[in-house]
Amino acid sequence: MGLKYQSSSQSSLQSGAALDDLSEVSVKEGEESEKRAVSLFGKLRRVVTQSVQFLCSVPWLMYGIYLVTFGGILYLAGISLFLPRYLFGLDETLRPVAEWLVWYSGVPMVLGFAFALFDFFVLFERKRAHRAYREEDMDGAKVTVALTAYNDEESIADAVKDFIAHPRVERVIVVSNNSSDKTFERAVKAGAVTFNELQPGYGRCVYRCYDEALKSGAELIVLCEGDRTFRAADIDKLLSFAPHADIVNGTRIVEMLRERNTQLSTFMYYGNLFVAKLLEAKHLGRATLTDVGSTYKLIRADALRKLMPKLDPSVNLPFNAHFMDMALANETSLIECPITFHPRVGVSKGGNTNNARAMAVGFGMMRGVTFGWEKTK
């Protein structure tokens, strides 16, 4: 009887141990299953987050503008074929081409509108800059003015004197881009701290202006040109906008503030506006832009120091668009301010020489904004 009881007791203990083992195995399996579920959820969450980040990084509105523009060109091309069709008796030959162009022009246009609507109604709030309204006391703040100059002997002295006379200007710097005339000497005589940039190119001259202004210890830097197209009086406007952003870009695209006979033709005026809106579409929700070609701007030194390594001085005439693109890409706040624009003194040597040259510069800006900024060889 005792043996039977002992055997039964051992059997019960073994059964209990087996049940405990099974329970422990079940618990471990449950924990592992839970870990796998958590890991899977984490991976899924990362994939979703990365997908949303990718969608937000794509400038859908900018691509939409290109597609709608391309579709519009196809449509107009198809419609315009009515002239040779009926004037030269080519209706039988050109009708299929015209119908194809008109019919299929709708494909890029519909796709473009879809891209734009997706950016506006789905991604816009995610793309908008996450910053609070900004306003700082800048009463009495002084600026350092840096002027670009290339063979501007006729205008540089008057430009320097105009800016030096402004009560908010602490110093005037002139960077002569290896001028072959008396620009350097006249800038020195007028009272400017003058440097000579030996490497040719508008981008290199502007970059040197920024560099020398930072070395001077300036906290607020105004970039401008020495050809008298801009006036020192507009510094007051730039300073009134300065409390709200890191960069205040002076815009010439205000009809009432530009004189009639400037080098900014009507074609350049609206072409500049188009490229500005293209850049705005690329950085949707970060800035409102109308002018990508204006040199006149105010920049805070702390923001400029962070931007300098991102800038490529070899970008030549499109450098202002490059600067704005890099600023917005690096979340530097930018606001525009209307400024006056006047006829230049002397001969224009930049992108505003004529409409053909301006178009080439504009296409260079569009290429840079869309595909990246290539170095000038």
Domain ranges of the chain: 60-127, 143-371
| Interval 128-175: pLDDT, tens | 988 888 888 888 899 999 999 999 999 999 999 999 999 999 999 999
| Interval 248-295: pLDDT, tens | 999 999 999 999 889 899 999 999 999 999 999 999 999 999 999 999
CA 255-257-263 angle, to 5 degrees, is 75
pLDDT of residue 131: 82
What dotted CATH number matches 143-371? 3.90.550.10
Placement of tokens 């419609």 in the chain: 79
pLDDT greater than 80 at residue 5: no
Q: Mind giving me the DSSP string for 101-141?
A: HHHHTHHHHHHHHHHHHHIIIIIHHHHS----------TT-
With beta carbons less than 8 A apart as the criterion, state whether 211 and 308 touch.
Answer: yes
pLDDT greater than 70 at residue 16: no
pLDDT greater than 50 at residue 69: yes
What backbone phi and psi angles, to 5 degrees, belong to 212?
-70, -35
Q: Which amino acid is at 120?
A: F
pLDDT of residue 39: 73
As a whole number, mean pLDDT of residues 347-355 equals: 77
Q: How far is CA 140 from CA 7, 88, 165, 167, in A?
A: 100, 72, 16, 9
The secondary element (H helix, E strand) that includes residue 277 is: helix 266-282
- C-alpha span between 106 and 128 (Å, rounded): 30
The pTM for the full model equals: 0.86
- C-alpha span between 312 and 315 (Å, rounded): 6
Q: Which of 78-92, 299-313, 326-340 is predicted with the least confidence, judged by mean pLDDT?
A: 78-92
